[in-house]
Each structure stands twice: as structure tokens, then as C-alpha cells.
Chain A
Amino acid sequence: MTEIELWIVMLLALMVLSAAVMVLLVKNHVAAVAAASVVPLGLALLFVLMRAPDVAMTEAAVGAGLSSLILALALRRLGLWQIDGVKTRTNLIKTQSEGHRNA
């Protein structure tokens, strides 16, 4: 592993760790899901740098794509999909008004 790769790895590790801490700290559920999907993304890049492209593809597809999608769909199901408490109409999936009332 060359010098520059080592620096990239350190930067990625910092990004992953700060995203993981952010999941715990942010109040907004949507922001937490977004931060949680940064962790597998950084991990996938780390896997590429460590010469494991097969694992990296799985991590990117399943970890970053599928599991964050499932988290987002679960949020919508629980009626927690809202940005800054505003009943916004510009998000990925439209929520129903019934969901917001109980949120």
C-alpha cells in the first residue's frame, strides 16, 4: 500500500467514523438514515483499496443500496419520513397524511 493510499484510507476511516457518530447525534430520522448509508459506502471504498472488489460490490449493493432503502421504507411505514417537521412534498417517496398525524 503506497503512501497516498494510506492517506486515503485514513480519510475514509475518519469519514466512516464521523458518519457513524452522526447517526447517533442527529435528531431527524431521515438524516440518520442518510448518515447510516454513508458508513457502508466508505467501507466499500476501503474494500476496493484493500483489493477485495467482490466484497466491495456486495457492500455497495447490499449495504449502501438495499439496506438504506429498507430503512427508508420502514421510516415511511412508521410515518416518520419528514424533513424538518414540514409536510414536504419533495421527498423520494410521498407519505400519507395519516402517517404524519401520528408522527
Chain B
Amino acid sequence: MRNLTGLLFAGGLGFMLLAIASGLDFGAPPMLVGGAIQAAAPQETGATNIVTSVVLGYRGIDTLGELSILFAAAASAGLVLGRRHTTAGTLTEGGFVLKHGGAMLFPLLLTIGFYIIFHGHLTPGGGFQGGVILAAAFFLPLLARPGARLHHGMLSVIEGFAGSSFILIGLAALSEGEAFLQPMLVQDALGQLVSAGTLPLLYLAVGLKVGAELAGLLSHLAQTESEV
């Protein structure tokens, strides 16, 4: 009986999705704001990556909300996971491939993470993606050598500094008489590394914050002891 109900539910859901999807015009958005932003964004924000100009320029306060949600999630996860650290030595070391592969990958991951963050206004990518890669770079050595610790105080300092500098850049725009988080100092250098005014700085703050937060969360998850 339960199987039959589940089957009926799945069938109904599939039928509904098909009915909705068949009525959609793929590739022809009914909203006009997308076209308007595509036409105006490179001149207004100086970023060649339109997604970045939307994420940090036109919808900057949404990104701030996203950052605070991420912060709340990481903080509550840290609260639930507690502080019970494993004593070093209960976990055996990683194998040869993991240890040396991790050591070799660390600088490469660091480079690609910062590359993605710094080129967020030029090419696809940005603070969130680069930040996750940075977190992975700092988590990899912990897998190879379980006794190693991340400096949690340092991570908190980086995270707080990045988060507050995001807000400070927004307030700086406010003090100049513009809207909160409005892009400023837009140079006339479309496509250059140093262009798009404050957008790369905002993305650097986002990347550092996301990276520090996720690295702290992962190391917490890996190094705290379970109850059993």
C-alpha cells in the first residue's frame, strides 16, 4: 500500500513537472530586467562578468544576507559539534599517496583559489567558488596528518576582518552619498585585472570569509569526537 502511494505521488509529481515544463519557453525569459542589466552592466560597474555585477553591484545587499546566513549556519554547526577534540595519535596517518599528493596539491589549490577570486569580475567564478577551493586546500593537509590543527583563532580573525570589511566598503559608498554597497571608483578599463572599482575588493572579502568559515567547519567536523 505504501509503495503504491509512493508510486502515485512520484507519477503525479512527474506529470506536474512535465505539464509546467512544456508550457515554458526555454531561452526566452518573460522578465525584461535581464536584458536591461546585460545592456547597462559593463558601463555601470566596469565588470565584464555580468553575473558578478549582479551579485555584488545590483544585488549587493542580497550577498550580504547570504554571507550572514552562511555565518549563522557555520556558527550553529560549531555550537552543535562542541569542543571535544581527539587527542593526537588516536587516528593513524594517511597513506603515502594522500600525504605527498596533499602536500603537492596545497600550493596549486591555493593558487587556483586566489586566481578564481581575483578574476571574479572578468571570468566565471568569484568569491564563493574560490573560497570553497581555499577551504579545501587547507583541509587536505588535515586529512593526511590527523594530528595537525588549524589555528582557529587566526581563522576567526580572518573571517571577522573579511566580513567587517565587506560592510565597511558598503558604508564607504553610503558616506560618499551613494546607495549602500553601490560600486565606486569604476575605472575606464573594461577587461583589465585592476578594474571594476570596489567589486574585486568585495569578492576578496567574500572569498576570505567563505574560505575561513568552511575550513573551520570542516576541521571542526573532522576533529571533534563522536559521543560513542
Question: Which residues from chain A sit less than 8 Å from chain B, CB to CB?
Answer: 53-54, 56-58, 61-62, 65-66, 69-70, 73-74, 76-79, 89-90, 92-94, 96, 98-99, 102
Q: Are B125 and A57 in contact (CB under 8 A)?
A: yes
- Residues of chain B within 8 A (CB-CB) of A56 are 124
- Residues of chain A within 8 A (CB-CB) of B226 are 77-79, 99
- Residues of chain B within 8 A (CB-CB) of A69 are 136, 139, 218
Q: Are B221 and A66 in contact (CB under 8 A)?
A: no
Q: Are A61 and B133 in contact (CB under 8 A)?
A: yes
Q: Are B129 and A61 in contact (CB under 8 A)?
A: yes
| CB pairs A–B below 8 angstroms (22 shown) | A54-B49, A54-B124, A54-B125, A57-B116, A61-B129, A61-B132, A61-B133, A62-B128, A65-B132, A66-B135, A74-B221, A76-B222, A77-B226, A92-B98, A93-B143, A94-B91, A94-B92, A94-B146, A96-B90, A96-B91, A98-B228, A99-B228
- Residues of chain A within 8 A (CB-CB) of B47 are none
Q: Are A53 and B143 in contact (CB under 8 A)?
A: no
* Interface set, chain B 107-164, CB cutoff 8 A to A: 116, 124-126, 128-129, 132-133, 135-136, 139, 143, 146
* Interface set, chain B 72-99, CB cutoff 8 A to A: 90-92, 94-95, 98
Knowing A54-B124, A73-B218, A93-B143, say if A66 contacts B92 (CB, 8 Å). no
B169 adjacent to chain A (CB < 8 Å): no
> Which 9 pairs between the two chains have the least Cβ-Cβ distance?
A53-B124, A61-B132, A57-B129, A54-B51, A77-B226, A73-B221, A94-B92, A54-B124, A102-B228
15 further A-B pairs in the complex, CB-CB below 8 A; given A56-B124, A76-B222: A53-B124, A54-B124, A54-B125, A57-B129, A58-B129, A61-B128, A61-B132, A65-B132, A66-B136, A69-B136, A69-B218, A73-B218, A73-B222, A90-B95, A92-B98
- Residues of chain A within 8 A (CB-CB) of B146 are 93-94
B214 adjacent to chain A (CB < 8 Å): yes
Kindly state the separation between the CA atoms of A98 and B146 in the bound complex, as whole angstroms: 17
- Residues of chain A within 8 A (CB-CB) of B214 are 66
Kindly state the separation between the CA atoms of A70 and B91 in the bound complex, as whole angstroms: 18
- Residues of chain A within 8 A (CB-CB) of B49 are 54
- Residues of chain A within 8 A (CB-CB) of B132 are 61-62, 65-66
The smallest beta-carbon distance between B220 and chain A, in angstroms, is: 10
Knowing A54-B51, A57-B125, say if A93 contacts B221 (CB, 8 Å). no
What residue of chain A has the Cβ atom nearest to residue B98's Cβ? Answer: A92
Kindly state the separation between the CA atoms of A96 and B228 in the bound complex, as whole angstroms: 11
Kindly state the separation between the CA atoms of A51 and B214 in the bound complex, as whole angstroms: 28
> Max chain B CB contacts within 10 Å: which of A69, A74, A78?
A69
What residue of chain A has the Cβ atom nearest to residue B226's Cβ? Answer: A77
- Residues of chain A within 8 A (CB-CB) of B94 are 94
What residue of chain A has the Cβ atom nearest to residue B222's Cβ? Answer: A73
